[in-house]
Amino acid sequence: MNSQILKFTPFQMKTYWFIAALSICTIAAKAQTRAGNVAAQKTSSAKPSVDRQEIPATTYMMPDGTFITKDKIDSVRNAWNGALFIGHQESDRAQGILHLVRLTDDNMKEINEKNAKDELVVKAMVNKAAADFNLTDLHGRQWSLKLLREKVVVLNFWYTACPPCLEEMPQLNEITKMYTPDKVVFLALTFDDVQKVQAFLKIHEFSYNILPGSKAIDQQYKVSGWPTSLVINKKGVITFATNISPDIKRDLSSAINANL
């Protein structure tokens, strides 16, 4: 397995952080930790009226420029002792290219420190009243949290250039099929603008009700890591919160069911 190490300058690391936020390696780390320790909704306003283009096959590029398939990622991760970062740049998105980067010890320390801070922020949300907001979806429908009382509400904070967000979307889409909209409402908040979201949805499916322009709400909720998912009960109280989960479908459905 290729053992090339890519050492970042602070500027390079900042660039990748902006593009990819946390990193798929966090998913792997949490999945490994958990493994060691251990109903139908189709929302009409979730999909914009755009023609979805053929989705380009995702390819994974090693530091030396060679490509591997997704099923080889775990082997690379193991060979690199978990020091795996996956990110992309705007120029790669249309081609479906994600870069596998081997992190240095300093990079891993920075990631672990950030993840620890983000986890504290997320845990602090639980058992607190969810702040109200008013946002408009891609179809012009306005959403107000206080008008959704007596329903369970699931929030997902994400953005279009976030690989971990993209990674969990198939599971999130499956969850929406498990519940009816009169019982559970799924809202995806992104600080991206409408145009960027619509371009994203031409090649990717996301079946939540998507609310663009959420920067102020992200700040209100003190979101510092993406993706972040919250479950809010019928009284408007946050009962579950997580950044990245290796089994987000299981964790969210369990939290939702506990509040129905």
Domains within the chain, CATH numbers bracketed = 1-260 (3.40.30.10)
pLDDT of residue 122: 85
pLDDT of residue 57: 59
- pLDDT-flagged residues of the chain (< 70): 1-57, 88-90, 93-94
pLDDT of residue 93: 65
> pLDDT (tens digit, 9 = 90+) per residue, 159-212?
998 888 998 999 999 999 999 999 999 999 999 999 999 999 998 999 999 999
DSSP letters spanning the chain: ------PPPHHHHHHHHHHHSS-HHHHHHHHHHHHH-------TTSS-SSPPPPPPPPEEE-TTS-EE-GGGHHHHHHHTTT-EEEE--HHHHTTTEEEEEEPPHHHHHHHHHHHHHHHHHHHHHTTSBPPP-EEE-TTS-EEEGGGGTTSEEEEEEE-TT-HHHHHHHHHHHHHHTTS-TTTEEEEEEESS-HHHHHHHHTT----SEEE---HHHHHHTT--SSSEEEEE-TTSBEEEEES--TTHHHHHHHHHHTT-
